[in-house]
Structure 1
Amino acid sequence: MTSSDSLDEIAGSGLSARERLLAAATALFYNDGIHSVGVDRIITVAGVTRATMYKQFGGKEELVLAYLEGEDAGIRALFDDAAASAAASGAAPEELLELVIGGIQQDIAHRHTRGCPFINAAAEYPDAGPVRDLIARHREWFRETLRALADAAGLRDPGEVAGALVLLRDAALVGGYLDGRDRVAPVFGDTARAVIAGHVDRERSTA
């Protein structure tokens, strides 16, 4: 969660006007909700003029899409970091899946402490449109990436594994906000690993 102190620091951060607008929007949209945050508040936190805001993003919806694209990039970076760590250590595919589970667990505990930004945005944009399209693309990528990791690790029914892990992460992000991240994050990790253990191909593992 971004504190009011860090919000106060955005305007004088030395970032470009576009970067400041996106930083302000990301913090405000995630913490306070998209529809409750007006353009005037964003430009005040970013320290720019209204004209600069519309020059950079054209309108609020474009800024909302940029915010969600940034969240998508952050989750993709989690997978990339796990893959890089696995490659550097020569880890097996099943160890890469473990690194991803650990990364998601850390994300629940330390970064996304007010729920899933995509679920939150979907609740505010119930109708079809660019925002829902972006959310759908992100979730399809997330599910397919987990499926590919489960397949590479030799798990049975990798699509089922991916579906279960997506469901667990969704529940953990919401539960972490409602019940406390310190309580929920470890449970996510334990349950995700139990799902994986339940889909190990015993014949392949003993071959």
Structure 2
Amino acid sequence: MTAQPWESRQPARARVLETATRLFYTEGIHSVGIDRIIAEAGVAKATFYRHFPSKDDLVRAYVVEQSSWQRAAVAGMPTASPRAKLEAIFTLMCDFGAGPDYRGCAFVNAAAEYPDPAHPVRQAIADHRRWLRDLYRELLTGEGHPDAERTADMLMLLRDGLSVGLDLDDPVRVRAAVEETLAAVLGRGSAMSEQGTTAGRR
């Protein structure tokens, strides 16, 4: 696969990262070699190594980029209350997971290929998870939840289970289970079904 004309106008680092993101997510990190990324990104080998001294540096950049995308998506949500934002976050996950290109959670997938918690890639994944847990806690606190700290941990477990369930089970049933769980955690009925579609992949 050769680079498209519009890709050749992108900065080399962005082209490499875009190519790596597509290949890592669809095929797995360790199964994709640097030479293939270089070829499909349409950059010289020297250019690649100028931006990414090693493949692990590229993988860490990929994880950081995924985290930045999610942070921007959350920041751009036009929600009126902390509760609505929490529901919108889980709706976004359900919508993404119901799509035909869903291959699981990029962070969970990457963690499975980098089992050492001290590795820079795992550290980047841990940074993302700290941000997400803190976000849940802040939104729960803003909603006046009596135990925001413990409940944020529960939402992390819900999020992790959701990321796997969307890949293995019927997304419509998974969404319904998430709605019910959020309603129990937050203490009132969930509005998720009104925010997103319920179309499944299967």
TM-score in terms of structure 2 length: 0.82
CA shift for structure 1 position 118? 1.0
The one-character-per-residue Cα deviations of 1:76-107 (angstroms, maximum 9, x if unpaired) are 1222012xx13xxxx23333333333233323
The answer as to whether partners of 2:20 and 2:62 remain within 8 angstroms in 1 is: yes
User: How many matched pairs?
Assistant: 186
Unaligned runs of 5+ in 2: 189-202
Partner Cα distance (1:169, 1:8) in 2 = 37
Partner Cα distance (2:29, 2:92) in 1 = 26
Identity level (%): 42
Partner Cα distance (1:74, 1:45) in 2 = 23
CA shift for structure 1 position 111? 8.8
The one-character-per-residue Cα deviations of 1:38-89 (angstroms, maximum 9, x if unpaired) are 001111111112111101211211110110011101111222012xx13xxx
TM-score in terms of structure 1 length: 0.80
Alpha-carbon distance change, 18 to 189 in structure 1, aligned in 2, over 3 angstroms? farther
Unaligned runs of 5+ in 1: 1-6, 199-207
CA shift for structure 1 position 10? 5.4
1:184 aligns with 2:170: no
AA in 2 matched with 1:122: A
CA shift for structure 1 position 177? 1.3
The answer as to whether partners of 1:109 and 1:185 remain within 8 angstroms in 2 is: no
The answer as to whether partners of 2:94 and 2:171 remain within 8 angstroms in 1 is: no
1:155 aligns with 2:154: no
The correspondence of residues 165-180 of structure 1 with structure 2, limited to 5 A, is 165-180=155-170
The correspondence of residues 133-148 of structure 1 with structure 2, limited to 5 A, is 133-148=123-138
Alpha-carbon distance change, 181 to 158 in structure 1, aligned in 2, over 3 angstroms? same
1:96 aligns with 2:91: no
Query: Which secondary structure state, in structure 1, belongs to the residue aligned with residue 30 of structure 2?
Result: coil
The answer as to whether partners of 2:137 and 2:148 remain within 8 angstroms in 1 is: yes
AA in 1 matched with 2:42: G
